[in-house]
Amino acid sequence: MKILVTVKRVEDPESKIKVKPDGSGIVTEGVNYKMNPFDEIAVEEALRLQATHKGEVVIVSMGKQDVQTEIRQALAMGADRGIWVKHEGAMDPDGASRLLQKIVEKEKPDLVILGKQAIDDDQNQTGQLLAERLGWGQATFASKEESLESDAEKNKVPGIKITGTSAQVVREVDGGLEVLELALPAIVTTDLRLNKPRYATLPGIMKAKKKPLEELNPAGLGVDVTPKVAVAKLSPPPARKAGIKVPDVAALFDKLKNEAKVI
């Protein structure tokens, strides 16, 4: 079975993010970057499925040369090869989904797994748009019934169940979980409670340096990725007021009731 997994390079949430004075973006100096956490879960799930069903795991990322770091990280975790779509400018989910459509038509995977959203812009659209463009079934917010402390998780049992030409996916919904059956090929987007991603081992890191990385570009794929959504301006959140100390519980109760009006 061939599984295509997307990874995105995002700002490390542990970094201090500042908006540029003119609101045109964020200050990138001193900011660390990492693989989108939902994408790490997608890579982990693909590797677990590969361990069960054999086949190949292919990693796809788009952006500047820096994204090779995240592709190599996924290869170090155990993926077989990578595809880098070289692009310098901004890209919205519409452009990303059209590029992925071309790559899927070229690679013909049985399953495409994406993180449900990227933590930089939280748009949560690419997986759904890709499914619509391909005319494939989709299961978003993939999770599982077992906890992340269960024996199944410790034994790295995949949460997505593949049987023949169909997949069973447990997904998170308001109020609980639901189970979907999908005909393959299909699109799945991962939620936080699907698995705990593995760490790359030193031998894995060494092997990743020699694994193939194909370079593509939007023009070569025949895709115009000019964003259809423009970000007019970024603004920092309002500064929080300094806290105060209250002399006793009665004063605290009074402020919560009469000033904050939360009780």
- CA dist 128 and 116 (Å) reads 9
* 79-120 pLDDT, tens digit each: 999 999 999 988 999 999 999 999 999 999 999 999 999 998
Give the chain's length. Answer: 263
In degrees and rounded to multiples of 5, residue 76 shows phi and psi of -65, -30
Write down the pLDDT at residue 121: 86
Write down the pLDDT at residue 230: 85
Nearest to 19 by CA among 254, 221, 236, 262: 236
pTM, two decimals, is 0.89
Write down the pLDDT at residue 181: 96
Which amino acid is it at 59? I
Write down the pLDDT at residue 242: 87
Q: Spell out, as residue ranges, where the chain has pLDDT lower than 70.
A: none
